[in-house]
Amino acid sequence: MKSVQKLSTLTLTLLLSVILAVPAFASETIKIGFNLPLTGDIPEVGEGSKNAAEMYLKDINSQGGLEVGGKKYPLEFIYMDNESKAESAVNVALKLIEQEDVVAIIGPNSSKQAVPAGGTCNDNRTPMITPWSTNPDTTKDRPWVFRAAFLDPFQGPVAADFAAEKFGAKTAAVLFDISNDYSKGLAEIFKQAWEAKGLGPVVAFESHGTKDQDFSAQLTKIIGAKPDFIFVPDNYNQVALIIQQAHDLGYKGHFMGSDAWGTPDLIKLCGEDCYGQFFSTHYAAAGATGPTKVFIDRYKEAYGDVPADYAALTWDSIGLLLKGIQNAGEVYSSPRKERKAIRDGLAAIPSFDGITGKSKFNEEGDPIKCAVVVKISDKGEFLFEQSVCPK
């Protein structure tokens, strides 16, 4: 009997020693929502963002979770499809907040969905970080909404300055999506920036709808006005059609684009018609070094493609959010209390070194960071042309 008791005591002692040797680990998970366009007009954006998120999730949970206040908490990512629609993005935000009890939301990406969803998150006091939205209204007067991308009031002048210098342009034309907050807002900002330069007029300012496939009427007017180049701040699927149709109509001039061009799917849709064109964006994959190259190589190995800017920005958005969670210093069982702690933790981040560059944050939660202008090579690669930083 004594030998059995000694064995039991020994077993218990060994068990306790094993438990004490394991790092402190909390059973509670940190639930984070993702408001993504997995279907609709831009499903590649949702897929790329989800791919980057899955890589990050695996990295953190393979280490036992995110360490907060000396304990490790596993992460749980909940993905929902906003169908690339504004109304659906609002509904997804509400579901993630009210039904899933997430403590924060990554996305939406596009300003068309991020502006209304940002209002919903702010009203419900839930931290939201948009990776890709550049429209100022997404974060304006919304202390619960943050972003990883630069803003259009910066991007518009970057495009205008580059086109004037690179093309020697004196006149410009603009074609944009009237029903897309991003496209319409950036078109207007570009027009203001171009006219402020005093080089010459915007000779055509034409719009189209999101579902339009035929742009011949608008392009005929634009080509007839004989601009030195055409600025097209549209999503990549629309850009491919616009450039191809412009060439079919005999246009041989330059195009200048914006960050919504920045996906390998543009080349798949546009082909040689897009070779030699330029656009402003958040990072250039070709020639990347350091942590950016590590991310690109890992992504290519996992998914067989070069990560677009929205994938890289999603990676940085997650990094920002996790930094905000760690800044809170504690994980609360109450989602409402945890959301407030995370918001305060995000607001306390003065700067962040991400794979899309270094950022400092202003009082609106917007990063002050550099933009990159890339050229589409005759192999369809996005080559670094120049970097433009805020003055």
CA distances from 67 to 29, 74, 309, 331, 351 (A): 12, 9, 28, 10, 20
Residue carrying structure tokens 């546009």: 270
pLDDT of residue 390: 85
Mean pLDDT of all residues belonging to the chain: 92
- Hey, do 30-150+288-369 and 152-281 end up sharing a CATH topology, with the first three levels equal? yes
Question: pLDDT band at residue 27, thresholds of 50, 70 and 90?
Answer: low
Q: How far is CA 249 from the centre of its chain?
A: 34
pLDDT 10s digits, 313-359: 999 999 999 999 999 999 999 999 999 999 999 999 999 999 999 99
Please report the pLDDT score of residue 21 as a whole number. Answer: 42
| More confident: 248 or 361 | 248
Q: Single out the residue of 125, 46, 120 nearest to residue 79, CA to CA.
A: 46
Q: Are 79 and 36 in contact (CB under 8 A)?
A: yes
The structure's pTM equals 0.87
32 pLDDT exceeds 60?
A: yes
Q: For residue 163, what pLDDT band results from cuts at 50, 70 and 90?
A: very high
| Alpha carbon distance 82, 107 (integer Å) | 10
Specify whether the CB–CB gap between 44 and 306 falls below 8 A.
no
As assigned by CATH, the class of the 30-150+288-369 domain is alpha beta
* pLDDT mean over 263-289: 93
Homologous superfamily of 152-281 in CATH?
Answer: Response regulator (3.40.50.2300)
pLDDT in tens, 91-141: 999 999 999 999 999 999 999 999 999 999 999 999 999 999 999 999 999
DSSP string, 228-247: SEEEE---HHHHHHHHHHHH
Angle subtended by helix axes 43-61 and 309-328, to nearest 10: 40
Length of the chain: 391
- Tokens representing residue 241 in the block: 């059609």
Closest CA relative to residue 238, chosen from 316, 180, 162, 198: 180
* Residue extents of the structural domains in the chain: 30-150+288-369, 152-281
